[in-house]
């Protein structure tokens, strides 16, 4: 599953947007990438908000089309960030996997200030899913910040989020899988999960200076927690942090000798090299080739 940074929603980041510093691996496509929610032009209120940087690097085989991930960033209220990861196996049925994730994020961006959503990630996921008509499926994660410092998170599948405070990870979402490498997902098919039976919802207090790292599984399958902490703590600029995390994940994904989080989990679940290779001291190693989408957001004063 992967990302075409052609899928955020707004013409251009401006100095009036609290969620700023948008950074793409392919800047020539920015015009179709960022579009904020309609209500983002409302006067800002005092309190906490998010300053966010994004970066995405497509799977090496999907660079031309931009990948299959999608995301959006909105400055509505305290700020909203979201990532969706299109399920690649739809390509086997001649369905473009990027269409579902792209439309899902476009709908979420459009509905973020809808009264029926009530600024709740679960309702937003539900309404965006219901409004999506493309064939396909995707994992999704949404985080919404209240100005008073309450972060609300909803996710389905293995897109993830980590919350860092003073150089330590104090919270991580947990991937939801039917079995190894088969995550829960929203789908166009009636038999798939819905936000009610497949999603996790978390609510927590955040403070000024906290950092949120959100991404598709292309990030977390290839980058260890200590690497995330090291990059985020050394680089205060969220755009730089997001770029470096994406580049490290992409590099690890292409390294056949790297002991990646994905390889370690695969071996723990019983997936490994044939016995004759084990007898020669060999083992399953390497990163997981995938699209990599990263959002780094810092909690700041409005």
Per residue in 60-79, pLDDT (tens digit) is 999 998 999 999 999 999 99
* Side-chain-facing half-sphere of 239: CA atoms under 13 Å: 8
In tens, the pLDDT along 109-149 reads 999 999 999 999 999 999 999 999 999 999 999 999 999 99
Domain map (residue ranges) of the chain: 27-247+290-301, 255-286
Q: Which residue has the higher pLDDT, 298 or 42?
A: 298
Helix axes 97-111, 121-131, angle to 10 degrees: 130
Cα angle, residue 248 at apex, residues 84 and 103 outer, rounded to 5°: 15
Q: Residue 121 is encoded by which pair of tokens?
A: 């990630």
Q: Based on DSSP, count helices (H) and strands (E) in the chain, helices before strands.
A: 8, 13
Per-residue pLDDT band for 186 (boundaries 50, 70, 90) equals very high
Question: Domain 27-247+290-301 adopts which CATH fold?
Answer: Phosphatase 2c; domain 1 (3.60.40)
Cα angle, residue 181 at apex, residues 175 and 187 outer, rounded to 5°: 75
Q: Residue 128 is encoded by which pair of tokens?
A: 């965006």
In tens, the pLDDT along 197-232 reads 666 799 999 999 999 999 999 999 999 999 999 999
Q: Mean pLDDT check: name the lowest of 177-186, 193-202, 266-275.
A: 193-202
C-alpha–C-alpha distance, residues 148 and 150, integer Å: 6
How would you classify the pairing of strands 292-301 and 177-179? unpaired
Q: By percentage, how much of the chain surpasses pLDDT 70? A: 79
């Amino acid at each position: 599953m992967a990302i075409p940074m052609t899928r955020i929603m707004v013409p251009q980041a401006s100095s009036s947007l609290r969620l700023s510093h948008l950074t793409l691996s392919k800047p020539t496509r920015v015009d179709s990438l960022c579009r904020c929610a309609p209500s983002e032009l409302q006067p800002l209120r005092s309190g906490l908000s998010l300053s966010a940087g994004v970066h995405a690097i497509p799977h090496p085989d999907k660079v031309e089309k931009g990948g299959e991930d999608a995301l959006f960033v909105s400055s509505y209220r305290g700020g909203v960030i979201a990532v969706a990861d299109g399920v690649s196996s739809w390509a086997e049925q001649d369905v473009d996997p990027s269409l579902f994730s792209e439309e899902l994020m476009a709908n979420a961006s459009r509905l973020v200030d809808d009264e029926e959503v009530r600024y709740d990630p679960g309702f937003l996921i539900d309404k965006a899913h219901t409004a999506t008509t493309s064939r396909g499926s995707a994992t999704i994660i949404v985080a919404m910040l209240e100005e008073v410092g309450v972060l609300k998170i909803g996710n389905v599948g293995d897109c993830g989020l980590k919350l860092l405070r003073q150089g330590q990870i104090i919270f991580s979402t947990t991937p939801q899988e039917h079995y190894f490498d088969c995550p829960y997902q929203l789908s166009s098919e009636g038999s798939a999960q819905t936000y009610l039976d497949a999603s996790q919802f978390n609510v927590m207090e955040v403070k000024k200076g906290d950092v949120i790292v959100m991404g598709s599984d292309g990030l977390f399958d290839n980058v260890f927690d200590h690497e995330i902490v090291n990059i985020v703590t050394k680089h205060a600029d969220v755009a730089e942090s997001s770029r470096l995390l994406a580049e490290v994940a992409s590099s690890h994904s292409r390294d056949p000798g790297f002991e990646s989080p994905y390889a370690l989990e695969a071996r723990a679940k019983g997936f490994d090299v044939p016995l004759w290779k084990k007898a020669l001291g060999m083992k399953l190693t390497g990163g997981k080739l995938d699209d990599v989408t990263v959002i780094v957001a810092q909690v700041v004063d409005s």
